[in-house]
Amino acid sequence: MRMLPRCLSGLLCLCLLLGLSLAAQAQDDPGQALLEPLDTASYTDKGEAIEAIIDSGDPRSRRWLEALLGGKLQRHKETGQFVVVLENRGRHWPVVDALTGEDLGEMSRRELDRIGINNALRGQLQSALAVLDLRVDDVGARREAARDLLGQVDEAMVAPLEGVLEDEGDAEVARLLAQGLAIHRLEQGQVAAVEALAGSLNGEARAALSSAARSDDPALAQAANVALADIEQKLRLNRGLETLYFGLSLGSVLVLAAIGLAITFGVMGVINMAHGELMMLGAYTTWAMQQLLPGQPGLALLLAIPAGFLVAALAGIAIERGVIQFLKGRPLETLLATFGVSLILQQLVRTVISPLNRTVVSPEWMSGSLMINEGLSLTLNRLFVLGFALLVFAGLWLVMRRTRLGLEVRAVTQNRAMARSMGIRATRVDIMTFALGSGVAGLAGVALSQLTNVGPNLGQNYIIDSFMVVVFGGVGNLWGTLVAGLSLGVINQVLEPWAGAVLAKILVLVFIILFIQKRPRGLFPQKGRAAEG
């Protein structure tokens, strides 16, 4: 029985020592010194304590100020420990330690004292939370915070923002803060604020200027109208650049779709109506790779590039050996036969896979857009497709100019009979050329899978445009295909907004018909006796 009092005494001593240890740790935490001044009856002193928390740069500042604003920053009556209430319902509230974030279980609301605030402090806290992110080290976070403040600045924020602006070292953050302050001043009717917003493409700035342009103050209205006219001119320029970008991205797809066709047409004189279906096979290869590698769209896309080329090239060899070799010199029969092959491939995909479209997930590094300014952003998937098309073109050009296959292809293209007499195996060249052109069509399908859904009719949307590119640029000429594809893409993009998609294509077709009346061999005519014949 004597041992029991001794155990209880030891346990009490242990608890006392533990409490003293925790209290000592809390006193050592610089956050304790920041929170202590909040527990005062003077609202003036509380305001100074809030400013001290903001200036401290403590990463816990936002959590403390949000809790204080919401009435959830409280203090234990007996221990003096600062806690944050997670949910203030019922008699017992779940709380965490304000300094460490440690879960303290539940406490009775009678055990806690709320740190009270008045309306003046509430406004100060709202302003403080708005500018708190402007004091972090991450420049990107500061820019985002400054951008979010545009159109949201009130009178209570002006002084803190001016202080932040004086100390800001990043030019973009400073520009955004200056615009935010200028929008507020413009709403107050200050004419001088118009100059700070002149040339800004931000929507909030334009809205503020539009409102000022309807002001009863003639000087303010005139200055706002001049600024709006300058902004509108810049917007027109950016819209023009955006149209050019979308035109080039569309043109890059046409280049990818047509460049393989240009090679086979130029070397073999074959009108391959199944070329679009070879693109479709490349797109379905991309989809299949994503099914094999779920959750890894980036790796699947990278592996789909060689796989799509190989699948389409093998299909091209099968078409050339199974159909085209028996119809050489008969372009009409070749056209009809390859059209039949295209229907077979479409139906095969519908039967084996599905008649429904499939979605290919773009990797994260191809999602989103690259913001040039507030009036112009470039979608990353189109930017990557444009770059991919140029890389494929460069690779194909090197093959045609720096390899034995390219030399033989050019020889057969210019004079097949002479090439045969020099020992070049024209049949082998035909097979390799058709495989190369078909493989490039597969690469076009891989690129298209990042811009649109994959379906059995994917290639039909591009086959006619591909032939127009080949005819316009010059049969068998790579540079002609590049120039023609990019040009027709831009022309289509310029015409579509006011003429519509269908009428735009009709106008392009009429233009090409009139053009080939003057230049029947296209922009870059083919050289050699075969071209003359």
pLDDT (0 to 100) of residue 25 = 46
Q: Can you give the residue range of the structural domain that contains 396?
A: 237-532
State whether residue 270 is helix, strand or coil.
Answer: coil
Tokens linked to 421: 């007499």
Q: Is 295 a domain residue?
A: yes
pLDDT at 530: 44
DSSP secondary-structure letter at 39?
A: S
Domain-located, residue 82:
no
**Distance, CA of 519 to CA of 330 (rounded, Å):** 25
CA atoms within 13 A on the CB side of 238: 18
The enclosing H or E element of 247 equals helix 218-268
pLDDT in tens, 247-259: 898 889 889 888 8
Rounded Cα distance between 134 and 33, Å, is: 23
User: Hunting for tokens 């003046």 — which residue is that?
Assistant: 120
Q: For position 250, which CATH number holds? A: 1.10.3470
Query: Does some domain include residue 135?
Result: no
Output the pLDDT for position 164. 80
pTM: 0.71
Task: Flag whether 198 is in a domain.
Answer: no
How far apart CA 483 and CA 524 sit, in angstroms, is: 10
Give percent helix, percent strand, percent coil of the chain, each to the nearest 5: 70, 5, 25
Q: Which residues pair with 376 in a beta bridge?
A: 373
And the tokens for 39?
């527990």
H/E run at residue 72: none
Burial of 467 (0-12, 13-18, 19+ CB in 10 A): buried
Tokens 């951008």 belong to which residue?
Answer: 147
User: Closest Cα partner for 443 from 399, 389, 363?
Assistant: 389
- 160 CB-near residues (< 8 Å, 6+ apart): 127, 128, 131
The answer to whether position 422 is within a domain reads: yes
Show pLDDT as tens, one digit a residue, over the chain (533 residues): 444 455 445 444 444 444 444 444 445 677 888 888 888 888 888 888 888 887 777 778 888 888 888 888 888 888 888 888 888 777 888 888 888 888 888 888 888 888 888 888 887 777 777 777 777 777 888 888 888 778 878 777 787 788 888 878 888 888 888 888 888 888 888 888 888 888 888 888 888 888 888 888 888 888 888 888 888 898 889 888 988 999 898 889 889 888 888 887 766 777 888 888 999 999 999 999 999 988 888 899 999 999 999 999 999 999 988 888 888 777 788 888 988 999 999 999 999 888 888 888 888 888 888 888 777 888 888 899 999 999 999 998 898 888 888 788 777 777 777 878 877 887 888 888 888 889 999 999 999 888 888 988 888 888 888 888 888 887 667 888 888 889 888 888 888 877 777 788 788 888 888 887 777 777 776 654 444 44
List the structure tokens of 417.
């009979």
Rounded to whole angstroms, how far apart are CA atoms 182 and 275? 58
Cα distance between residue 518 and residue 89, in whole Å: 84
At 80-110, the pLDDT tens digits run 888 888 887 778 888 888 888 888 888 888 8
| Total number of domains constituting the chain | 1
Give the torsion through C-alpha atoms of 154, 156, 157, 163, to 10 deg: 140
Residue 293 covered by a domain: yes
Mean of the per-residue pLDDT values of the chain: 82
In a domain, 51, yes or no: no
Q: Over the range 416-452, which residues count as b (16 or more CB within 10 Å of their CB) and which as e?
A: beebeeeebebeebbbbbbbbbbbbbbbbbbbbbbee
Tell me, yes or no, whether 157 lies in a domain. no
Instruction: Give the pLDDT confidence score for residue 527 in this predicted structure.
Output: 57
